[in-house]
Amino acid sequence: MNKQLYFDIAATTPMDIAVAEIIHKANIENYGNPSSMHMSGQKSHNIVERSRTSIAQILNCKTSEIIFTSGGSESNNIVLKGILKKGDHLITSSYEHPSVLNLAKHLEQNGVEVTFIKPLKNGSISAEQVKSEIKSNTKLISIMYVNNELGTINPISEIGDIASENEILFHSDTVQFIGKEKLDLSKINIDFATICAHKFYGPKGVGGLYCKSGIILNPLIDGGGQENGLRAGTENISSILGMAKALEISNDTLLDNKKKILELENYFIGLLENSNIQYRLNGVNRLKGIMNLTFFGVEGHGLLMNLDMQGIAISYGSACSSGSANAPQALIEMGMDENEARCSVRISIGKMIEKDDIKQLFETICNIISRIKK
Amino acid sequence: MKEKVLVAMSGGVDSSVTLLRIIEMGYEAIGITMKLWEYKNFGGNNLQENNCCAVSSINKAKLVCERMGVPHYTIDFTGSFKENVVDNFVDEYLSGRTPNPCVRCNSFIKWDTFIEQAEILGAKYIATGHYAQIDEKNGDYFIKQGVDERKDQSYVLWGIPKETLSKTILPLGGLTKEEVREIARKHKLETAEEPESMEICFIADNNYKRFINEYAPDKVAKIKNGKTLDEKGEKLGSNDGYINYTVGQRKGIGLTNPNPLYVKEINPKNNSIVVGEKSSLFKDICKVKELNWLIETPNFPYETHCQIRYNGRKAEGTISVEENEYVVNFKDPQLAVTPGQSIVFYNNKTLCGGGIIKLYE
């Protein structure tokens, strides 16, 4: 098989070598329990706290406002479960990540009132849509920054202002945004933001939550009082350190990576544009590097399998634990015909991709489409 | 370049050995698991290990494929399966018939879908772990019964489209189940000790009454207690609704009689069941609908061997056409000829075709 070409960084990213090395070293050297009094424990404790400060500085918030978790799903759960009680109203969107969407449905069964806003035809949620759904019992607004299937960007700043004016708490699942764009929490009216390390070349199984100071949440996990009592359990020291390192690298190389990814995306779209492939790039205001493409008459699942057998990884639909997939739900939510949604795939470009890789992707897609198109 | 073969993987021992054989035959294999059902939505013991479509089974299929260096993909067909197989299964019971969902799945979903996916993947053939054989004579393809008489699964294949036979490989047809397990053990396959799959794959606890109750509660609620009649139409007692009975059933009738009583007929129209002694359950005639031939369509009347239930014995019969309907006359009367079940025709070991049993009235 040829070299593996990975075009699925919206699902997860390969870990930076520098991050892997720092994690490996910490795993061997820093085994002390951060809660222990001895030197070994103190050393681990300081690694965790230094990581917290580093992340807080990059996101421009207070150190104490960063809580470490096991990842995006847990952070989303902490917020929604920690805030919403029976009778409260939640405003969210119908194309959130399952860790918000399914949780909201679950909370709805337990007496929380939920409004699921459908994305507009352009693939985004507007601030006006959110505003019009506010009720007297609206307790929380949870709208993702960047949609994972489409790459479309939501007007988080405006939504935050609306929430603030109405004294409603505002949470955003920002996992697809952080590391790819600069997130400055001081400039947004936001109470909670979800962080996930493996979306920015960090380790899996570790994430964080920005929780504005002064807000009291009920913990999901009770125990030894770690993370300011909000998340018990011995800290995953090496992964926390790895996450901080990964965010530092992302932050330091942000402009270069953005420029590179923009060029690669434009190159790919240019190749498609000059071919006879019938396609459409879905969504309007998009984060560069996440492309949802409809290839008319070409079933997305079939395209994925064929590309995979030739060593190229892309994504189709909403993955589930069994590894099967349904038609991309976000597209259906924005009003796309199901048959067209079935012919849509997500191609997401990471910083490790080169121009030749894009060319190979394009040529392989051309060959497959000419064979399987109906 | 090697020809590609799409191998249908359920996560059981049979499909794993199928994959192994396909590779040994020199093909390039691609493993595909069709996800047909989501157990958690419809109860039963969904933690049972041998549910195909369950995540644990799909995981096993993936492990076996990886061990053999074969790509594996799962394709979601839950929508089509529900529509074509499960809805029909429930409707058939509600109509007083006894359906055979495996036949329907093979006839309407599996083969067509696998062939379609094979084309998408550039594969020339599909392979499944059914215990049956494909035979070729002068460019014409047939299905023959599997060598292992106890495991032969040709009965559930009568409805597959004939034109797919030339594209189908059934590598287990020449083996016994024990041989298949031995091969799996020898190769240390993760699935070597997998238990036999259930009778009805989408009913985790094999309790179809519970399933129908949960699946179509509104329709089932309309069926109140019914009458139990004798063959002359005299009321012998009452029962908890016809939906709870199948033709040939003996247990649970709730009547005492010197000789055991069996369900002879089910009448949804007046919510009654007719019971009789075993001797009254024999019939020498039935109608057949939805006929499919896997040989060249014969001339009628056509003498053949008929099998009226899975693992049943073959009986001599003659198919003829009466007023545009197919009728089978059995040489010897058959016990519990059950509407909704498949009647499958054989010529020696060759599967000629089949259809669905209808009452001859």
> What number is the ipTM of this complex?
0.86
Measured in degrees and rounded to the nearest 5, phi and psi for residue B17 equal -70, -30
Among the partner residues A299, A305, A371, nearest to B73 by beta-carbon distance:
A305
Contact between A151 and A181 under an 8 Å Cβ cutoff? The reply is no
Same domain, yes or no, for B23 and B162? yes
Q: How far A368 CA lies from chain B's nearest CA (Å)?
A: 9
For strands B282-293 and B235-239, give the pairing: unpaired
Chain A contact set for B53 (CB, 8 A): 322
How far apart are alpha carbons A322 and B73 in whole angstroms?
A: 10
Average pLDDT over residues A255-264: 98
> What is the reported pLDDT for B47?
53
Please identify, among B186, B210, B228, the residue that sits at the C-terminal boundary of a domain.
B186
Same domain, yes or no, for B309 and B168? no
B76 vs A: CB within 8 A: yes
Among the partner residues A309, A325, A372, nearest to B76 by beta-carbon distance:
A325
Two tokens at A96? 């959130």
> What is the reported pLDDT for B48?
54
B306 in catalytic set: no
Is a pLDDT exceeding 80 seen at residue A363? yes
Whether B200 is covered by a domain: the verdict is: no
**Domain with B295 in it:** 282-358
Q: What is the mean pLDDT of chain B?
A: 90
Comma-separated ranges of CATH 3.40.640.10 domains in chain A = 17-252
How far apart are alpha carbons A263 and A355 in whole angstroms?
A: 9
Q: What is the pTM of this model?
A: 0.89
B122 vs A: CB within 8 A: yes
Chain B's closest residue to A321, CA to CA, is B55
Average pLDDT over residues B42-64: 69
Is a pLDDT exceeding 60 seen at residue B46? no
Average pLDDT over residues B51-77: 86
**Three-state secondary structure readout of A188-239:** CCCCEEEEEHHHHCCCCCCEEEEECCCCCCCCCECCCCCHHHCECCCCCHHH
User: What single-letter DSSP state applies at residue A315?
Assistant: B
Share of chain A above pLDDT 90, in %: 92
Give the pLDDT band of residue A1 (cuts 50, 70, 90): very low
Q: How far B81 CA lies from chain A's nearest CA (Å)?
A: 14
Q: Write down the H helix ranges in chain A.
A: 17-29, 39-59, 72-83, 98-109, 127-132, 156-165, 237-252, 254-273, 300-309, 329-333, 338-342, 355-372
> What is the reported pLDDT for B206?
80
Q: What is the mean pLDDT of chain A?
A: 95
Q: Which of B39, B66, B76 to mutate to test the interface with A (most CBs of A within 10 A)?
A: B76
Two tokens at A199? 């979306």
A3-36 pLDDT tens trace: 689 999 999 999 999 999 999 999 999 999 999 9
Give the pLDDT band of residue A317 (cuts 50, 70, 90): confident
> What is the reported pLDDT for B28?
97
Q: Which of A322, A329, A369, A373 to mutate to test the interface with B (most CBs of B within 10 A)?
A: A322
B105 in catalytic set: yes
Please identify, among B138, B157, B186, the residue that sits at the C-terminal boundary of a domain.
B186
A76-88 pLDDT tens trace: 999 999 999 999 9
User: Which candidate in B53, B65, B102, B105 is catalytic?
Assistant: B105
CA distances to A11, A253, A281, A291 from A344, in Å: 16, 31, 9, 10
Contact A305 B55 (CB under 8 A): no
CA distances to A194, A221, A237 from A210, in Å: 6, 17, 18
Same domain, yes or no, for B177 and B287? no
Measured in degrees and rounded to the nearest 5, phi and psi for residue A203 equal -75, 160
Whether B268 is covered by a domain: the verdict is: no
Whether B87 is covered by a domain: the verdict is: yes
How far apart are alpha carbons A193 and A185 in whole angstroms?
A: 9
| Residue A126 CB contacts under 8 Å (≥ 6 apart), including other chains | A120, A155
The answer to which of A69-78, B163-172, B248-257 has the lowest mean pLDDT is B248-257
B310-340 pLDDT tens trace: 988 999 999 999 999 999 999 999 998 999 9
Closest CA to B276 of B265, B264, B289: B264
Q: Which of A1, A324, A369, A372 to mutate to test the interface with B (most CBs of B within 10 A)?
A: A324
Contact B119 A326 (CB under 8 A): no
How far apart are alpha carbons B270 and B209 in whole angstroms?
A: 20
Average pLDDT over residues B63-87: 91
Please identify, among B186, B212, B232, the residue that sits at the C-terminal boundary of a domain.
B186
Q: Which of B120, B121, B124 to mutate to test the interface with A (most CBs of A within 10 A)?
A: B120
CATH, range A17-252:
3.40.640.10
Contact B76 A323 (CB under 8 A): no
> What is the reported pLDDT for B45?
53
B56 vs A: CB within 8 A: no
Q: Packing angle between helix A237-252 and helix A39-59, nearest 10 degrees?
A: 30
CATH assignment at residue B108? 3.40.50.620
Contact B117 A302 (CB under 8 A): yes
User: Which candidate in B52, B53, B102, B201 is catalytic?
Assistant: B201
Comma-separated ranges of CATH 3.90.1150.10 domains in chain A = 5-14+253-372
Give the pLDDT band of residue B198 (cuts 50, 70, 90): low
User: What single-letter DSSP state applies at residue B83?
Assistant: I
Average pLDDT over residues A147-172: 98
> What is the reported pLDDT for A24?
98
Number of domains in chain B: 2
Tokens 């018939």, located at residue: B97
Is a pLDDT exceeding 70 seen at residue B51? no
Average pLDDT over residues A142-147: 98
> What is the reported pLDDT for B49?
47
Average pLDDT over residues A210-226: 91
Scan residues 2-31 of B and list those with Cβ closer than 8 Å to A.
30
Q: How far A303 CA lies from chain B's nearest CA (Å)?
A: 8
Average pLDDT over residues A195-211: 98
Q: Return the top range by mean pLDDT from A346-355, B242-251, B265-274.
A: A346-355
Contact between B106 and B157 under an 8 Å Cβ cutoff? The reply is yes
Chain A contact set for B119 (CB, 8 A): 372
Is a pLDDT exceeding 60 seen at residue A112? yes
CATH, range A5-14+253-372:
3.90.1150.10
Is a pLDDT exceeding 80 seen at residue B50? no
Contact between B59 and B72 under an 8 Å Cβ cutoff? The reply is no
Q: Write down the H helix ranges in chain B.
A: 13-24, 55-67, 78-81, 87-94, 101-105, 111-120, 177-186, 208-215, 217-222
Which residues make beta-bridge pairs with A345? Answer: A293
Contact between A94 and A333 under an 8 Å Cβ cutoff? The reply is yes
> What is the reported pLDDT for A3?
67
Instruction: HSE, CB side, 13 Å, CA atoms: give it for residue B264.
Output: 18
B359 vs A: CB within 8 A: no
Count of Cβ atoms closer than 10 Å to residue A229 Cβ: 13
Chains A & B: contacts with CB separation below 8 Å: 41
Contact A306 B121 (CB under 8 A): yes
Same domain, yes or no, for B167 and B32? yes
Question: Please, what sign has the CA dihedral across residues A236, A242, A247, A250?
Answer: negative
